[in-house]
Structure 1
Amino acid sequence: MNASEKQHQAEHRNRPTGEAFRAFMGSSWAPRSTEVPSITEAARYAAARRERVSAAFPGTRVVVPAGGLKIRSNDTDYVFRPHSAFANLTGLGADREPDAVLVLEPVVAEDGSPAGHEPVLYFVPLADRDSDEFFANSRVGEFWVGSRATLASAASELGVTTRHLDELGDALGKDVGPGGLALRVVRDADREVAALVDQVREQTGVVTDAQSLEAAQATDAELARSLSHQRMVKDEWEVRQMEDAVEATATAFDAVVEQLPEALRRGRGERWVEGIFGLHARHAGNGVGYDSICASGEHATTLHWIRNTGDLVDGDLLLLDAGVETDSLYTADVTRTIPVNGTFSPAQRKVYDAVLEAQEAGLAAARPGNRFKDVHAAAIEVIARHLLEWGLLPEGVTLEQTLDADEGQFHRRWMVHGTSHHLGIDVHDCALALREDYVDGELREGMVLTVEPGLYFKSDDLLVPEELRGIGVRIEDDVVITADGCRNLSAMLPRTADDVESWVRDGGRRTDPRA
């Protein structure tokens, strides 16, 4: 189904249809500019990523959809965000080109051997002003959504061949079949495009029964895993995007800290915190990279507290887990746990210092040659040791016993999550990569990770001393693996208990710990 067909699924607007009106709407407009943009920096780096995909899938037509608009309610859509694989391989970010499809078209040498791919972008270009689409189509029409790319401007901006989306169906089936070109699609990006690919497979004899369909779709899963794995090591442009995202995030954290007194005064302070962070995220970039966790008091012991409906209370901690997403869709992911009144209680500081010690151990393990899982192992050993010293583990259990992966893990009652994940164009980046490449994989220069241990003592946990109940602490930073260790991209934000207290007392004005 194309964009025009989607528009006509539910049409209740009363629009004039007379020829005179249509001619009137299309007349007397100033000429559009004929200038085309230069290729963007994002697109230049995307070209190198496409080359790696081309090398991995010779002789294969690779189909990477952007995805379509998603309905929020009735005829109102969510703000569009292209699929991460599409954005990564085109350089298009923000809300660009819903329903577009990138096709890597195999090129054959004179001797018949694979000779790379030609990138072709299929999308709905800007319509002429004498068309109904210009004023009547609320999804793509210029009157409704503003001026968009033409075939020529997109080709120049992205350095790819461009064609109208209406040509996609015929193009997908060309030379496909037993003994012909292979065809793979990123299935989760767009169900309709995935269904179209399956239809082409049936029509060309690639799929003849349920077993061959399953085999064909297994090749799609292999493509998705490959594209996910490819993003593990960031290029220099991606690292700069991460630096920009983290810098903007730090500024937004400062604004939240400055606004803590107002959040206390107004009530429903978690929403105030969410709003302040979101304001800065939207102003500095595309918005937030994920729903912000603005958890005060007991809410901080719920790992993914995104309701953000609670009050901020003098004496409580605020756990703020949030990140700014740049216009190119790369996101930060930072957590700070902050005493709302500027002073940790002795119990709060006790938990905070334990988590900080665990994070320092995790940061030290984030270095090339180590395994990804070594970061968690280093941090969780510190967490487990403190819980043992505090008498919280079952009687008689040793540190070695609780760290045993099969028979232990008692400490996970108070830290059930992992310590790290890959970060980039997705907040949990590279998630489709195989375990051997991810958890068991070796850390390499250019990888971007989070390091985020925590401790969470629920208020109704009877194994926990009363003074610790209701305390939740997480400290999270974003690091890039370097040649001899890692660089903490978010190190400009205070981390020690003393520095955090000073940050709050100074109203969000921080002394950069790196200085």
Structure 2
Amino acid sequence: MSEEQKKSASRARPTTDEFRAFVASGWAPRSTDLPARSEVAPYAAERRAAVSAAFPGQRLVMPAGGLKVRSNDTDYVFRPHSAFAHLTGLGSDREADAVLVLEPMGDSADGGTPGHDGDVGGDGGSPGHEAILYFRPLAGRDSDEFFGDSRYGEFWVGARPTIEDLEAELGITARHIDEFADAVAKDAGQLPIRVVREADAAVAAAVDKARAEAADAVGAAMGEQRLEAEHEADDELSSFLSHLRMIKDEWEIDEMRSAIEGTHRGFEAVIADLPEAIRRGRGERWVEGVFGLYARHHGNGIGYDSICASGDHANTLHWIKNTGDIREGDLLLLDAGVEVDSLFTADITRTLPVSGTFSEAQRRIYDAVYAAQEAGIAACKPGNRFSDIHDAAIRVIAEHLHEWGLLPEGIDVEATLDKEHGQYHRRWMVHGTSHHLGLDVHDCALATREQYTDAQLKPGMILTVEPGLYFKADDLLAPPEFRGNGVRIEDDVLITEDGCENLSAAMPRTADDVEAWIARIWSGRG
């Protein structure tokens, strides 16, 4: 909200001491029962321990982020930054403006060997650091915030936890957010500070101010080189926290199973309502709404904007406008995922024949994509590189395009697969076949190339396998019967000790099985 809006006469409300006293009185006592320890707390403690070990003697600042204005005085629904959620276990819309600080203690504050076996806060999970969560706790009913603050007040947005509540739930020290500025600046000239800059600009600015004031105090020059070095240190922290999420623990894997289960239900609800989507017009929006209903009911909502692309819209890879009609004979490419309350998200694509059966040309495209996906999934095993998944799938794509006579004259499969002088197949399959999946739909995105594309697959990784073929309606190099059809098949795959598990395997994939799936649901037996 702008300052002008805050001062607007339309927002003025009469307030007296008598009125304040009246509002603050006559309430039943609050419950003093504390919440049970969260089931994710010990897992979050282990994650913090890994961070602590990587950055001994350094103050580490991980903000949740703040509320963002959508329009005028309304905010978007809050979602905490993924690094914050991963290290605290807080998901859903908790806790806006909070900041997790790993504070070095004992000998580790001097950059030496950690002098403690665990957090002072009691979770036993971060040797060398105390985990402290600065947040905005529940305000008293005698405060102006309780009744008068429409952004944070309990009367307007509901009650928040107390400091004692969060300490009981998470097993770490909690403090009021008002203490953060002084705490982050304390001894700033004597120990390094790193911050996840992209999570909250205001918190990053507070850290920069503390650094600058500490440098001034000792007469150190604050030139561009020093500032660049500090920002590079921040980037190293962000990259480490991103890479830390690459191997999922058992709790995270269970959350992913729940997200996939909810996504499966959402897809079946969409299939059941396809006739209604056709009948009403603007059917892509109808599909988007149906899936969103199931996503919001099962978990926190959708993990990303759903792609509900019918007909030629399927050939626009990031089609999220969803403004089109759905017509008989179309293919509907539905790329959607449920985000559960912990913020872990599925990411699944199915390409559905709107009329219930594929045409001959549609089936030819679909079967080629399915064969490519099978090759990609077969490459999902420990010891292989992440890039091997794409290489296996794209070879099958290239083989089909060559067989269909679509590659330029003189270009065979090997020639188009040449990464420097080929790549002609990318006209019809431009994107990568796989990405890591978890708290973010494109998880671990700040990991280095060596940690990601060139890295070996390891048990506990969850990633997508999602080849496709896209023939735009105006593509004169494509066979006429292919034009206006786009197909992608995407599943979520867990790397295991001896191979992989397709976590979304319960959702039919072959052309025959997809047709039978639709028929079963339409007959009322699904």
Give the TM-score of the pair, scaled to structure 2: 0.94
Q: Could you tell me how far 1:8 is from its partner in structure 2?
A: 9.9
For residue 123 of structure 2, what is the aligned residue in structure 1? none
For residue 182 of structure 1, what is the aligned residue in structure 2? 192
Residues 490, 111 of structure 1: CA spacing in aligned structure 2 closer, same or farther, 3 A cutoff? closer
Q: Which moved more, 1:62-71 or 1:102-111?
A: 102-111
For residue 412 of structure 1, what is the aligned residue in structure 2? 426
Question: Structure 2 CA distance, aligned partners of 1:232 and 1:140?
Answer: 35
Q: Could you tell me how far 1:506 is from its partner in structure 2?
A: 2.1
Please tell me the residue identity of whatever aligns with 2:156: W
Q: Could you tell me how far 1:15 is from its partner in structure 2?
A: 2.5
For residue 6 of structure 2, what is the aligned residue in structure 1? 10
For residue 128 of structure 1, what is the aligned residue in structure 2? 140
Q: Could you tell me how far 1:110 is from its partner in structure 2?
A: 9.4
For residue 72 of structure 1, what is the aligned residue in structure 2? 70
Question: Is 1:314 aligned to 2:328, yes or no?
Answer: yes
Question: Structure 1 CA distance, aligned partners of 2:246 and 2:4?
Answer: 41
Q: Kindly provide the CA deviation profile for residues 283-332 of structure 1, in whole angstroms up to 9, marking residues without a partner as x.
A: 00000000000000000000000000111110010000000000000000
Equivalent runs, 1:233-244 vs 2, <5 Å: 233-244=247-258
- Equivalent position to 2:391, from 364, 377, 380: 377
Equivalent runs, 1:195-206 vs 2, <5 Å: 195-205=205-215
Please tell me the residue identity of whatever aligns with 1:43: A
For residue 271 of structure 1, what is the aligned residue in structure 2? 285
Q: Kindly provide the CA deviation profile for residues 91-123 of structure 1, in whole angstroms up to 9, marking residues without a partner as x.
A: 100001100000000011399634210000001
Equivalent runs, 1:239-254 vs 2, <5 Å: 239-254=253-268
Question: Structure 1 CA distance, aligned partners of 2:329 and 2:514?
Answer: 15
Asked whether the 8 Å contact 2:109–2:191 carries over to 1, the reply is: no
Question: Structure 1 CA distance, aligned partners of 2:108 and 2:446?
Answer: 37
For residue 390 of structure 1, what is the aligned residue in structure 2? 404
Residues 485, 9 of structure 1: CA spacing in aligned structure 2 closer, same or farther, 3 A cutoff? farther
For residue 229 of structure 2, what is the aligned residue in structure 1? 215
- Equivalent position to 1:41, from 17, 20, 39: 39
Question: Structure 2 CA distance, aligned partners of 1:11 and 1:319?
Answer: 49
Question: Structure 2 CA distance, aligned partners of 1:16 and 1:152?
Answer: 35
Q: Could you tell me how far 1:20 is from its partner in structure 2?
A: 0.5
The alignment covers a number of residue pairs equal to 506
Question: Structure 2 CA distance, aligned partners of 1:7 and 1:487?
Answer: 54
SS of the aligned residue for 2:194 comes to strand
Please tell me the residue identity of whatever aligns with 2:277: A
For residue 194 of structure 1, what is the aligned residue in structure 2? 204
Residues 183, 309 of structure 1: CA spacing in aligned structure 2 closer, same or farther, 3 A cutoff? same
Question: Structure 2 CA distance, aligned partners of 1:110 and 1:186?
Answer: 21
Residues 487, 207 of structure 1: CA spacing in aligned structure 2 closer, same or farther, 3 A cutoff? farther
Question: Structure 2 CA distance, aligned partners of 1:349 and 1:7?
Answer: 59
Question: Structure 2 CA distance, aligned partners of 1:260 and 1:371?
Answer: 40
Q: Could you tell me how far 1:80 is from its partner in structure 2?
A: 0.2
Q: Kindly provide the CA deviation profile for residues 210-250 of structure 1, in whole angstroms up to 9, marking residues without a partner as x.
A: 11011001000000000000000000000000000000000
SS of the aligned residue for 1:507 comes to helix
Question: Structure 1 CA distance, aligned partners of 2:285 and 2:463?
Answer: 28
Q: Kindly provide the CA deviation profile for residues 194-216 of structure 1, in whole angstroms up to 9, marking residues without a partner as x.
A: 01100100000176111101100
Question: Structure 1 CA distance, aligned partners of 2:130 and 2:77?
Answer: 30
Identity over the aligned pairs, expressed in percent? 66
For residue 319 of structure 2, what is the aligned residue in structure 1? 305
For residue 151 of structure 1, what is the aligned residue in structure 2? 163
Asked whether the 8 Å contact 1:60–1:181 carries over to 2, the reply is: yes
Q: Could you tell me how far 1:39 is from its partner in structure 2?
A: 1.4
Please tell me the residue identity of whatever aligns with 1:93: G
Q: Could you tell me how far 1:510 is from its partner in structure 2?
A: 10
For residue 172 of structure 1, what is the aligned residue in structure 2? 184
For residue 26 of structure 1, what is the aligned residue in structure 2? 24
Residues 39, 468 of structure 1: CA spacing in aligned structure 2 closer, same or farther, 3 A cutoff? same
Question: Is 1:137 aligned to 2:149, yes or no?
Answer: yes
5+ residue gaps, structure 1: none
Question: Structure 1 CA distance, aligned partners of 2:15 and 2:224?
Answer: 47
Question: Is 1:355 aligned to 2:369, yes or no?
Answer: yes
For residue 274 of structure 2, what is the aligned residue in structure 1? 260
Asked whether the 8 Å contact 1:333–1:477 carries over to 2, the reply is: yes
Q: Could you tell me how far 1:508 is from its partner in structure 2?
A: 5.7
Please tell me the residue identity of whatever aligns with 2:355: N
Q: Could you tell me how far 1:505 is from its partner in structure 2?
A: 1.8
Question: Structure 1 CA distance, aligned partners of 2:22 and 2:3?
Answer: 23
Residues 129, 481 of structure 1: CA spacing in aligned structure 2 closer, same or farther, 3 A cutoff? same
Asked whether the 8 Å contact 1:244–1:326 carries over to 2, the reply is: yes
Question: Structure 2 CA distance, aligned partners of 1:511 and 1:204?
Answer: 69
Residues 186, 7 of structure 1: CA spacing in aligned structure 2 closer, same or farther, 3 A cutoff? farther
For residue 434 of structure 1, what is the aligned residue in structure 2? 448
- Equivalent position to 1:342, from 356, 360, 366: 356
Question: Structure 2 CA distance, aligned partners of 1:402 and 1:194?
Answer: 46
Question: Structure 1 CA distance, aligned partners of 2:412 and 2:317?
Answer: 27
5+ residue gaps, structure 2: 115-127
- Tell me the C-alpha RMSD between the 2 structures: 1.7
Displaced runs of 4+ in structure 1, greater than 3 A? 5-9, 109-114, 508-512
Question: Structure 2 CA distance, aligned partners of 1:209 and 1:302?
Answer: 46
SS of the aligned residue for 2:454 comes to coil
Asked whether the 8 Å contact 1:371–1:443 carries over to 2, the reply is: yes
Give the TM-score of the pair, scaled to structure 1: 0.96
Q: Kindly provide the CA deviation profile for residues 147-194 of structure 1, in whole angstroms up to 9, marking residues without a partner as x.
A: 1110110111111111111111110111221xx211000000000100
Please tell me the residue identity of whatever aligns with 1:136: G
